[in-house]
Amino acid sequence: MREYLLCLVAAAAITYFATPIAREIAVKWGAMAEVRDRDVHSMPTPRLGGLAIFAGLCAAILVASQLTLIGQVFEGGGTEIAALLGAAVVLLVVGMVDDRWTLDPLTKFAGQVLAGGIIAYGGIAISWLPIGGIFVLDPLSSVLITVFVVVLTINAINFVDGLDGLAAGIAGIAAAGFFAYSYLLSVENGFDRAALATLTSAALVGACLGFLPHNFFRARVFMGDTGSMLLGLLLATSTVTLVGRVDPTAVGSATLAPALLPLLLPLVVLALPWLDLLMAVLRRTWAGRSPFAPDKEHLHHRIMEMGHSHRGAVLLLYGWAIVLTSTVVALVFLPVGVALGGGLLLLALVMLVLRSPPGQRLSQDQPKVEAS
- Per-residue pLDDT of the chain (372 residues), as tens digits, is 899 999 999 999 999 999 999 999 999 999 998 765 545 555 789 999 999 999 999 999 999 999 998 999 998 778 999 999 999 999 999 999 999 999 998 999 999 999 999 999 999 998 887 666 677 889 999 999 999 999 989 988 887 887 899 999 999 999 999 899 888 878 776 667 778 989 999 999 999 999 999 999 889 999 999 999 999 999 999 888 877 666 655 544 445 555 566 667 767 777 777 777 788 888 888 888 877 666 667 776 677 777 677 788 888 889 888 998 899 888 878 888 998 899 999 888 877 866 654 444 444 454 444 444
Give the pLDDT score at 251.
Answer: 47
- Residue 7 near residue 63 (C-beta atoms within 8 A): yes
Give the pLDDT score at 190.
Answer: 67
123 φ/ψ sector (left φ>0, alpha ψ -120 to 50, else beta): left
Give the pLDDT score at 70.
Answer: 92
Give the pLDDT score at 42.
Answer: 58
The phi, psi pair for 222, rounded to 5°, reads -100, 150
Give the pLDDT score at 359.
Answer: 46
Give the pLDDT score at 187.
Answer: 79
DSSP for 250-303, please give it: G--STTHHHHHHHHHHHHHHTHHHHHHHHHHHHHHHHTTS-TT---S-SHHHHH
| Start-to-end C-alpha separation, the chain | 38
Give the pLDDT score at 133.
Answer: 63
Give the pLDDT score at 191.
Answer: 65
Give the pLDDT score at 111.
Answer: 97
- Residue 85 near residue 230 (C-beta atoms within 8 A): no
| CA distances, 134 to each of 127, 138, 146, 244 (Å) | 10, 13, 17, 13
Residue 90 and residue 123: Cα distance in Å, rounded?
17
